[in-house]
Amino acid sequence: MKKRAFSLFLLLLWAICPVFSQSLYPIIPKPLLLEPKEGSFILPPDPIIAVAGTDPMLRRLAEELANRIGRVTGKDTKVFAGNFRVKDGINFVMSKDHKLGEEGYFLEVTPKRIIITAEQPKGFFYGLQSLLQLMPTEIYGSVRAENIKWSVPCCYIEDRPRYAYRGLMLDVGRHFYPVAFIKKYIDLIALHKMNTFHWHLTDDQGWRIEIKKYPKLTQVGSQRKETMLGHYNDQKYDGKPYGGFYTQEEIKEVVNYAREHFVTVIPEIEMPGHASAALAAYPQYGNNPDKIYKVGTKWGVYDDVFAPKEETFRFLEEILTEVIDLFPSQYIHIGGDECPKNQWEESLFCQELIKKEGLKDAHDLQSYFIRRIDKFITSKGRKMIGWDEILEGGISPNATIMSWRGTEGGVLAAKQHHDAIMTPENFCYLDHYQVDAKTQPIAIGGLTPLEESYAYNPTSSNLTPDEAKHILGVQGNVWTEYMPTSDYVEYMAFPRAIALAEVGWTAQHLKNTEDFKKRLDIHKKRLDYLEVNYFGAPTNKKFRYQWPLKK
């Protein structure tokens, strides 16, 4: 009776006193249900992890946990697979409770044992992330930690995500980052229970993916003669050649690594605009074949776009065929944003095509272009995503909208019964300043503080329940014009990406800004062990030529 009364007291304390939950249960993203319990589980001298079943993915997760525990505690941790449980260890138990879905889990911690229950391996992975966050932060270290009490506070957690799509984008067109950093980026996506890495692989300033049939895309398109120095308004350049691309073997390596971390990689191949790098390599697919195109050296939007000719569509379809073979993701992103129409309006061919196809204008021509690509991607058994400009001239039948120019595009798509992913720039663009620009290294502009990202609700109150089902989730975007190094990317992305991770996972009514900040204070210690150069870290690394601070 006393234990029951104490448990009720703990539950009440957890509900009314956020500080209590923050110190004992600093889990990010916040779980759907967490019931505090009396006591704690003390890691035994020789921990045992039991996997109920023979699923190799679960065995791998258990062994990764055992290796982590062994590395930082020095304890000899064993893994056993089969139809049994241990009374004083950690248990992975398969569930037949379908309400958990693919990503949900139960986590029960008692003084005697820990049980992670899920229906699918992804659920076990997310349950494991929560378990690690209940341990001392030293569990994220790479060497043995001395004089640590290895305990886990008792509790019961029932958890599953609010949205199916929870993503983070990285632009490698403007600046190129090595495979090692791409893997670290995926690690951080997975750590925060996000499930999608949107890889922006092509742009005016660089083509970063090897295409075997068109080798000039990387021989020419991945190289620019120089890069803007300082802010765009300064119109200065460093005079240094810049380049880089990922081989198909490296792409496969990244995709496989992401799969092991339950992250889907969605490639983006920009069209019909943001095409300067591609046209520098293959000018015949532009609107002015005699023009000498160059890979972009300044930031911003270029007039050079693909010509909507049959040979251009064959060129793009052959590129997409190789891309689809490399990426098993359900979705293929084709960009579709910021496509100037002046070259089409000046082109006799385009004007004749508009008349031939019964189109109204160049905006309709963009819709025609996107529909052609959508039809091809659909024929390959995949789905197309495009930025919200593809709504102009009428949305393509199978397209999913990524709404960036505010929320209106996503709302309109949902009302038309099309799926949408919400990534409005005022909440989700992580290239904006996060505090007063006068105190920060150069950024593109705008101001999106942590609190604003956290406050975002992706599902508009203007949608009916049926329409709201078309809001698939939320994504943070990292555009890298002013991020020449991976340290810079980390500084701009984190901790705002963590706020968006909670936006995507946690039920809206459970979110609380001050509670989140308190849990984040503890979480930052984990990031320190993981050597993440987040904004506000004790010792931020200096950035390259954008440092010192902007005057």
Q: Residues 197-213: pLDDT tens digits?
A: 999 999 999 999 999 99
Strands 264-271 and 196-200: parallel
- pLDDT confidence band for 539 (50 / 70 / 90): confident
CA 128, 129, 133, 136: dihedral to nearest 10 degrees? 60
Q: 99: which DSSP letter?
A: G
Crossing angle for the helix pair 121-134 and 56-73, to the nearest 10 degrees = 20
Q: Give which of 73, 92, 72, 96 is closest to 84, Cα–Cα.
A: 92
Q: 286: which DSSP letter?
A: B
- pLDDT confidence band for 12 (50 / 70 / 90): low
Residue 377 has pLDDT above 60, yes or no: yes
Q: Average of pLDDT values for 485-504?
A: 97
Cβ atoms < 10 Å from Cβ of 537: 17
Q: Average of pLDDT values for 431-452?
A: 96
338 is annotated as an active-site residue = yes
Catalytic residue among 88, 338, 408, 515: 338
* Phi and psi angles of residue 374, each rounded to the nearest 5 degrees, phi first: -60, -45
Return the minimum-mean-pLDDT range out of 94-98, 257-261, 272-276, 464-468. Answer: 94-98
Q: Residues 301-347: pLDDT tens digits?
A: 999 999 999 999 999 999 999 999 999 999 999 999 999 999 999 99
CB of 475 closer than 8 Å to CB of 517: no
Catalytic residue among 274, 418, 432, 523: 274
Residue 2 has pLDDT above 60, yes or no: no
d(CA 237, CA 241): 11
Q: Residues 168-201: pLDDT tens digits?
A: 999 999 999 999 999 999 999 999 999 999 999 9
Residue 11 has pLDDT above 60, yes or no: no
Q: Average of pLDDT values for 376-385?
A: 97
Query: How high does pLDDT run on average in the chain?
Result: 93
Angle at 262 (CA atoms; ends 257, 266), nearest 5 degrees: 75
Q: Is 514 helix (H, G, I), strand (E, B) or coil?
A: helix
Residue % of the chain over a pLDDT of 90? 88
Residue 519 has pLDDT above 80, yes or no: yes
Per-residue pLDDT at 22: 57
- pLDDT confidence band for 543 (50 / 70 / 90): low
d(CA 338, CA 432): 19
d(CA 162, CA 459): 11
Distances (CA, A) of 126 to 8, 102, 142, 277: 27, 10, 21, 39
The ranges assigned to domains in the chain are 2-159, 165-529
- pLDDT confidence band for 495 (50 / 70 / 90): very high
Residue 14 has pLDDT above 70, yes or no: no
In CATH, what number does 165-529 get? 3.20.20.80
67: its two tokens: 């290796």
Q: Residues 261-313: pLDDT tens digits?
A: 999 999 999 999 999 999 999 999 999 988 999 999 999 999 999 999 999 99
Per-residue pLDDT at 83: 76
Per-residue pLDDT at 542: 64
Residue 5 has pLDDT above 80, yes or no: no
Q: What is the domain class of 2-159 according to CATH?
A: alpha beta
Per-residue pLDDT at 87: 85
d(CA 166, CA 262): 12
User: Which DSSP string corresponds to 359-393?
Assistant: --SHHHHHHHHHHHHHHHHHHTT-EEEEEGGGGTT
Q: Residues 131-152: pLDDT tens digits?
A: 999 999 999 999 999 999 999 9
Catalytic residue among 159, 171, 203, 304: 203
Q: Average of pLDDT values for 1-21?
A: 50
- pLDDT confidence band for 525 (50 / 70 / 90): very high
Residue 10 has pLDDT above 90, yes or no: no
Per-residue pLDDT at 53: 83
- pLDDT confidence band for 393 (50 / 70 / 90): confident
500: its two tokens: 């968006």
d(CA 62, CA 58): 6
531: its two tokens: 């050597």
Q: Give which of 109, 91, 107 is closest to 40, Cα–Cα.
A: 109
Residue 550 has pLDDT above 60, yes or no: no
Place of tokens 């595009």: 409
Q: Residues 217-251: pLDDT tens digits?
A: 999 999 999 999 998 989 999 999 999 999 999 99
d(CA 324, CA 165): 20
Residue 486 has pLDDT above 50, yes or no: yes
